[in-house]
Structure 1
Amino acid sequence: MTSHTIATGPQQRAANAPSADTVQHPAPPATRRAPPAWLPSWKQVWFQLHWFIGITAGTVLMIIGLSGATISFKDELLDLMNPGVRHVPVETRAALTPDQLSQVAAAAHGQRVASVTMYAEAGAAPRVFFAPKPGERRGESVYLHPYTGAIQPEMQGAHFFEWAESLHRWLLLPRAPGRQVAGALALCLLGLALSGLYLRWPRRPLDWRTWLTFDPALKGRSFLWNLHAVAGTWCLVVYVMLTLTGLYWSYDFIRDNVDAWAGRPPRVAQAPNQGGKGKKAPAPQVELATAWRSFNQHAPGWTLTTMRLPTRAGETVQFTWVAADAPHERARSSMAINPQDGSVTENKPHASQGLGSRLVSIIYPLHMGTYFGLAGRIIVTLASLALPLFGITGWMLYLGRRKAKRAVKAQRAMLGGGEVLAATGMPTLVAYASQSGQAERLALESARALQQAGVPVAVRALDQIDPGELRQYEQALIVASTFGEGEAPDGTRRFARLLDEAAAPSLAGLQFGLLALGDRHYTQFCGFGHALDARLRALGATHLFPLIEVDRHDPVALDAWSQALARTSGSAIDAIGRQEEASYDSWRLVSRTLLNPGSQGGALFEIALAGPAEVDWQAGALAEIIACNADGSEGEDGSTPHAPRSYSLASLPRDGQLQLLVRQERHAGASNGGYGVASGWLTQFAPLGSALRLRLQANPAFAPCLDDLPCIYIGNGSGLAGLRSHLRARQHAGLAHNWLLFGERQQAVDSLCAQELEGWLHSGHLARLDRTYSRDGDAHEYVQHRLRQQAGLLRDWLAQGALIYVCGSLQGMAGGVDAVLLEVLGQDGLDALTAQGRYRRDVY
């Protein structure tokens, strides 16, 4: 755990140790060739494909899903709409035989009967199918009263369900191309399901909560992500099943090859009845009674059978039937019977058919869900109805992402091209000194508000200018963060040093207003802001208004800043900083693992949290958490919430969890049994599975380097968290020119994440690994001592353009590293390294 300065309380100093365990290579080796910076990672490629297919094919998939859900319970709905048509009251007299039914139907319709479907259930109306008329593929069908033979009324709603089925199967297009389009959409759905699985794959995939838990307390974008991803996980298996089975009917080459594998005879294309073209012998008159009696003798326990009548003299009557103990409705047996003497010429029970044929027969039941009974049908229906949910949430997330990108582009535009945001008049300087990005965001928002009020502005970072440049402005509005105990942010240290020099220029004539950001948990609250204010006045600058202090995101102080800007501009100014009050998301405590049992430096835990699905962050980002007391209550005095604490993230989104390294603080005589509020809650008192209030915070000053440049990572104790996320990001990007220097107390108990680090070393991801343990041996060697010993190698790496990342305790380790760099590079060299953005720190 590292705690960010502006939004956290004091943390116990981590032990950074030196010593005996140094694993290294003789020199930084040549890196394997990394992909160009413009080349996206595999995950980015899959993400782009996922959203592109989702917003293009997604709309049509919604139609297919809704139409599929519509026909899932077609028979039940038709029976509900047409009572007494397919089921009549049971009578004591015998039901008519197929022979009698076919004669009645042929006489009533004047058409040849092609087949008769009979049901064993008493009162079920048999169905008679007629031969197709000339030019048609399929003949008409009617239901007959099982006891009288009367033609039953036409089924109301049947045409609608036929239309819905055509929409589902070929999108109302001509049949052949329509099936192929539907097949292409099925492939799109398969791609969405599998790419979604890849994008969501967690580091610990065996934790079912990570996959299936939905948090209804989430809001906004987090709620949409969680709903989209968790519901998608629930439906994933169903969608894979639906798409794979749907492809069987969409493409003839797939169906023909599957049938050939299963040993089924090739399909014969069903051509329209040509009617009068050519002479065709009339269908023979067939006596069905003998065949019907023989079928009942040889197929006991049948529940449904379709008997196909001969079309030529000498042909058999073909029976296709389903037994009462059949595993599904398509587990069909077949039988051929001579109508003259009732002899069975062919009998193929379903159980005796080949494995391939039996497997093919389950394709339709799987697609409809009937293979798993009523529960399966309900699940398939709900999954089909959920397709619009994914389309809608996907579009909302896409539009939200577009909006966010436009906002970021607008903010960047304000800093580019000379930074002057108005064409006329002397601009007002809006400057910022930022460590985590909060001061920069407030400065940008202030500049936009002033510009809208008609005030020409120029936006500059203090680390980009010299004090003398302030003289070209008449007014300056400065937003300044405080780092650590009253220090300037890393990037602003050069400006602060030059401002303090005796040769600093006079700033007489400059009027300025200053917004100082800080945290009252620190002794030097807003220390840098006060020091900057005093020094500017000492050099002759005067106040536009008195300094305004902000404790974290205090809305009262931010309102005072807004009012001061309004007075300065002479126009109304909208409230500044309201977006800083973004709500906290609900995250769930998945696990906590003690990494150093028996350590002299206090227990260090790996904390794993699960939160909104597909939430994104960069290596180096922070998690701001509001802790609870040991009893789960919030607040120090029952009225105010505890102050939030910020922790460096030790994982990446692709790991599937948000991971932290948290040192358990102990204070004699303190509440919570002597535990620190935040560390005690996370490591000791919060029950597994409980909810935590957390929001992610960008940390631009500690942004990752994903270019093909060497990187040196230095840290101690819980500072390994921030370094680990950077190294994981570099590994994913294929960047192996990395050097890690890490310190702890004792090798025996404090070898944190040893397996991962050793794996990186042996795979070549780490070109060099230096570990020091300060309590092993007589000499207390710390990580900064090891860096001093390797000064020559340090210069070589820096000459190759290396960046330096430092994460861990501010006092001791970070200060020691700073001193070594000053020795090796000199003040000008260190200033240049900082100004180039090559010296990045996340220290506490």
Structure 2
Amino acid sequence: MLRSLHSIPGLLAALLVMLLAISGATLALNPALEHLQAPPATTAVSVAQLAGRVAGQLSGVEQIRRTPSGTLIVYHRENGQTLASSVDPRTGAVLAPYTPSAFTRWVKELHRSLFLDTPGQVVSALGALALLLLSASGAVLLARRAGGWGKLLRPLRGNFSQRWHAEVGRLTILGLLLSALSGLYLSAGTLGLIADDGQSPPALPAPISVGPALPVANLSALQGVELKDLRELVYPAPDNPQDLYSLHTRSGEGYVDPASGALLAFQPEGAMQQLSGFIYQLHTGEGLWWLGLLLGASALGVPLMSLTGLWLWWRRRRDAVAIDDNSPADAADCVILVGSESNSTWGFARTLQQALVSAGRKVHSAPMNQLRAGYPKARHLLILTSTHGDGDAPASASAFLARLQQQPLAPDLKYAVLGFGDRQFPRFCGFAEQVQNALAAGTAQCLLPLETIHCQSPQEFQRWGQALGHALGLPLDLQHQAHALPRHEWQLVESVAYGDQVQAPTRILRFKAADGRERDLPEFQAGDLVGIQPPGTTRPRFYSLASSSADGVLEICVRKHPGGLCSGFLHELQAGARITGFIQPNPQFRPAQGAQPVILIGAGTGIGPLAGFIRGNRARQPMHLYWGGRHPASDFLYEPELKGYLADRRLTALRAAFSQVQERGYVQDRLLADALALRRLVEKGAQVLVCGSREMAKGVMLALDEVLAPLNLSVLTLKAQGRYREDVY
């Protein structure tokens, strides 16, 4: 509900709010510019002193006005014409003719009424109301994202595209709330919705003194008023001896007798007038030039947030997924419930549904908030949910836990929960954990333990699908692509053969852009994935990249599998042959930058991206490689390169294990043998990156749990800290 409240006014009023914000930011510059141009008085100056100085410089003075920013404007007659001049308070001398800015007047009219008089004032008031709703709902959403009001000032987590809108909002939210509230109040006053305190200007009294007028500098009433309190002093008409000075100050207004200098009929400002003046000052920054700059800077955040907000809305609309072959809830034997904040989780749900339908299952997919009291024919419930903010439910799952408590699942229903999140957040997949715990407290049966996916990794999703398929007795291959990625053509320039003697034929393949120009390579990093679709098939195969585009080549390490369509196709390629494929970013599998050590662990072709990380380690970050192969004489992949990296210190240490030598061993054995050194690296904040087969990764986890036990740590702890990352298959 709150997110809808935040989105709908933004979509409907984006242009109006941006127009008001840009014009408001323009006007907010005026107080600072006036402050810079107005010469300061060196000492306290009274209105009488100023008037006396002006009288020595100008004749025919009719009015002295002081702007809130300190500019002094004198209106005087000269040669039958009324002129306006800005003057120096220290001498009364004319600084320059005063001409109000036509541009400023135009912007004010645009900001206040859109040049439409009263109807325009109503529209501007609605714009201020929309800004207030956006600011208030945005503040609550921002607090939720940060994990509470007390954490608003802490660094926001997530990638740049996730943080951009929130970062701008956090910097501008207070200024926007102040502008919206004060603008609404002023609009209400202009439209007569707020009554003042009923005060009218003081009645003009008859002069109580008779005699010649005193010099203006000798008027006692003006001697008692400091210049900084002056708003306006209107002189008596020269042809009317009964006329009086009209004085308006910050505290009120009244009249000054020109013959006696006495203050007459002074009327202090009422409470409502003072409040209105204060709110006007807060809204415009007039008299508080520094506040004007802050408000202007906040207002400039509105176009940025409007554009990023519209982009986020469009992205949610773009990611909205239509589920095909969606069986009715009463007829489905498998139910998928989805919790999503931005609709991206729905894409994974569609991939899962398509695979299950292809396997002969009848599937019903719905938001988690549409949990039903019963599913007559369902045997399995699969829940895919993201986490919003600091462990909160996403938009489509906000009512799920309450509904589950009211209508528990049937005892014969088996469930599995898959969480999506980002390990940068302290409560990574926190809502998925809440759902798992709530389901475990009921009578339904657990089909699979809770699994989590970091940064929407297609590889982790595919591995979960394999485990799910095994549990269901179905062949599931969940190859998910969020969007169609641009395809490229590459030409093979080098193929290095390994492993033929040990029946593990492996090739290191290097490709360049088909036209031979390095600059035409797409952007990619070592550890990203290349999708290659072999001839005669419809599904791409993914390979981890052992190079970055800065290396000038696209490099992969491929072992030929018996009956493997893609690996067989790649192994048969000759120099000059061309392939097509696409790059799929894999940012979660990448060494963190900094001085902390990196422990690289792999086996077989899993060395590919690890070698790419080492090649790109130009900062000489400590990197320790543990790798397992079959025989050093046949399949010691990247051996020449690794020796060169050791020599130039891009690689700190290499520990290789081979399973077909006399002293046979596996990479897990090397880890256990180096337990003490590994513990020291972990204590220094080391990050662990593992690449290779799933079975190898399981063995590595068991070995590292044994290594880390004396430190009261485990692989799960390192995963929660974002210090253990895998790319396994």
**TM-score where L is the length of structure 2:** 0.39
